[in-house]
Amino acid sequence: MNNEYKYQEITCKSALNRIDSFLPYHYDLNIYRGCEHTCAYCFARYSHQYLEDSDFFHHIYVKENIVGELEKKLSSKTWKRDVINLGGITDSYQPVEAIYKIMPQILKLLIKYKTPAIISTKSALITRDITLLQELNQVAGIQIAFTITTLDNKLASVLESGASPIKMRLNAMKTLKEAGLTVGWHLMPIIPYITATRSNLKAIFQMAKECNVDYMITGMLNLRGSTKEYFFKFIKKEYPEYYKKIWNLYNHKEEKQCYKKQLYELLMDLEKEYHICRDYQKYVPKSKTNEQLQLF
């Protein structure tokens, strides 16, 4: 496995990307292009194609002017303190962040301009910023989620070889929860036959209950474009015993629909058994107007 990483500083024209979607937020901020977490199912690999670079997992671009660009946007009179999704494409707390330390600067700006945010991560590094996260939570609101799709550390270290070990993610989750923050669990993508087993999913729901998470969202693996090709090469190499079954599933629509239906029924049963809220929208912080802020 290639463990050499190359970091390259670039400039961005603006810190935020506007997303027109059905989601309860419309701005996305990504400090890094590329992601060291190296998830076999990564949906974001396409974003390196625009840079004509095929090494999404090892060649990381750092937007060195992003803090200045963000301040320009947040200080503008037209800024309405919309919720910002920090790292909608690549993880804001991937290992390179330990070197560049850009997230604390971003959080300080969000606090200064009372702008709410959401973050999802596979990294325990987020706990480094716990005091800033608490402060932001008080002045504007923040929702944090950890992605964990298996409690089997060996499996996770193959599927997401650059992410924090599962135990560290769980400890980070507990720490943030105990600090009074809203913490969710992203059980996605669930990989058919590999992580979609009843025993794995049941163990996850049980652990989520123990961690007292505020909500959980789930979803079966979606494969598109270059992700599909990369993922099948990975499965052939690492889990050849599942290759044919997964290939058949993703190449036969009806079979896939039937499998998905059964998986979602199982998830609904577990939801009822463990009483875990599945409505993440309930916890997305709301933007506050000037008048509302004066009441604080």
Closest contact distance (angstroms) between CB of 106 and ligand SF4 is 17
**Residue 39 or 140 having the CB closest to ligand SF4:** 39
Closest contact distance (angstroms) between CB of 10 and ligand SF4 is 17
List Cα–Cα distances, 239 to 159, 209, 226, 295, in angstroms. Answer: 10, 30, 19, 57
**Residue 90 or 143 having the CB closest to ligand SF4:** 90
**Residue 36 or 137 having the CB closest to ligand SF4:** 36
List Cα–Cα distances, 82 to 18, 27, 105, in angstroms. Answer: 11, 7, 18
Report how far residue 108's alpha carbon sits from residue 85's, in angstroms, rounded to the nearest whole number.
15
With 0-12 CB in 10 A as exposed, 13-18 as middle and 19+ as buried, what is 141? buried
150 binds ligand SF4 (CB under 6 A): no
Closest contact distance (angstroms) between CB of 156 and ligand SF4 is 11
Applying the rule CB under 6 A, the residues between 108 and 137 that interact with ligand SF4 are 122
**Residue 56 or 111 having the CB closest to ligand SF4:** 56
Q: Choose, by CB under 6 A, the member of 91, 97, 129, 214 that binds ligand SF4.
A: 91
Count of residues that interact with ligand SF4, criterion CB under 6 A: 9
Applying the rule CB under 6 A, the residues between 21 and 40 that interact with ligand SF4 are 35, 37-39
CB 126 within 8 A of CB 172: yes
Q: How far is CA 204 from the centre of its chain?
A: 17
Which amino acid type is present at position 248?
Answer: N
Q: Which residue in this structure is represented by tokens 């270290």?
A: 157
179 binds ligand SF4 (CB under 6 A): no
Report how far residue 99's alpha carbon sits from residue 160's, in angstroms, rounded to the nearest whole number.
21
Q: Choose, by CB under 6 A, the member of 90, 92, 164, 227 that binds ligand SF4.
A: 90
Q: Interface with ligand SF4 by CB under 6 A: which residues?
A: 35, 37-39, 42, 44, 90-91, 122
